[in-house]
Amino acid sequence: MFIGLIKLNLTINLQISSLKDKRRIVKGIKDKLRNSFNISISEIDQLDKYYQAGLGISLVSNDKKTINTVIGRILNTMENMSSVTIENIETEIL
C-alpha cells in the first residue's frame, strides 16, 4: 500500500471581501478535486487570510505509478484554474 500526500499553498486571484467568500471559492475547488480524483482534501493552512489558502490532499493505492499519475493530473488541473495560483507544492509518497 502506498500513500500520496500533497500540500499546496495557493493565492486566490478573485476579488473577495470576506472569509465567507474565500471559503466558498475553496469549497468549490475542494469539491471539484474530490469528485474528479476520489481523494481526501482539506483546508489546512492560512485559514484566516483572505487571499491565501493551504490545502492538504491524500490518496491511497496499491501502485506507486498510479499515485504519481494522479498527483500529476491533480497538479495539472490546479494549474489550469484561473481562480487560484499555486505558490508552493510539496509532495510525498509513503
Q: What is the CATH number of the domain that holds 65?
A: 3.30.70.1120
d(C-alpha 92, C-alpha 84), whole Å: 22
What pLDDT score does 91 carry? 95
CA neighbor of 59 nearest in space, from 26, 92, 89 = 92
What pLDDT score does 68 carry? 95
Domain that holds residue 65: 2-93
Tens of pLDDT along the chain (94 residues)? 999 999 999 999 999 889 999 999 999 999 999 999 999 999 999 989 989 999 999 999 999 999 999 999 999 999 999 999 999 999 999 9
9, 88 Cβ separation under 8 angstroms: yes
Residue 40 sits at the vertex; the CA angle it makes with 35 and 90, to the nearest 5 degrees, is: 115
What pLDDT score does 50 carry? 87
When divided into structural domains, the chain yields a total of 1
C-alpha cell of residue 77: 488541473
Residue 60 sits at the vertex; the CA angle it makes with 54 and 62, to the nearest 5 degrees, is: 150
